[in-house]
Structure 1
């Protein structure tokens, strides 16, 4: 997991439902890095799209990954 992916998961933890722009602001990443991290995390099932459209939330699998792998980046 990349530092950008950890930052996105941390922004969504514990139960935040945020847009890409809100995630970008909370994680202080560039637009490109935010969107790339979102795509990678979604492809691995660590985040899931939420309603209303254009929002993201962390999955239970994402919470587990953040707890185990996120410690390396803290």
Structure 2
């Protein structure tokens, strides 16, 4: 995981369901880095699109990844 992905997971942890714009503001990432991180995390099953269109939440697998790999980046 890269620092942007860790930042997104940290914003969504423990049970936040947020839009990409909310994630971007909270994580202070650029729009491009936010979208790229969301795409990468979703492709690996670390985040899930919520039933409410355009919102994201962390998966159980994402929580585990953040707990283990996020330490390297201060997550």
Paired residue for 1:63?
A: 63
SS in 2 for 1:51: coil
The alpha-carbon deviation at position 70 of structure 1 amounts to: 0.3
The alpha-carbon deviation at position 45 of structure 1 amounts to: 0.2
CA RMSD of aligned residues (A): 0.3
The alpha-carbon deviation at position 51 of structure 1 amounts to: 2.0
Matches within 5 A, 1:1-74: 1-74=1-74
Residue-pair matches, total: 74
SS in 2 for 1:21: helix
Give the TM-score normalised by the residue count of structure 1. 0.99
Report runs of 4+ in structure 1 exceeding 6 Å deviation: none
Structure 2 CA distance for aligned equivalents of residues 10 and 29 of structure 1: 13
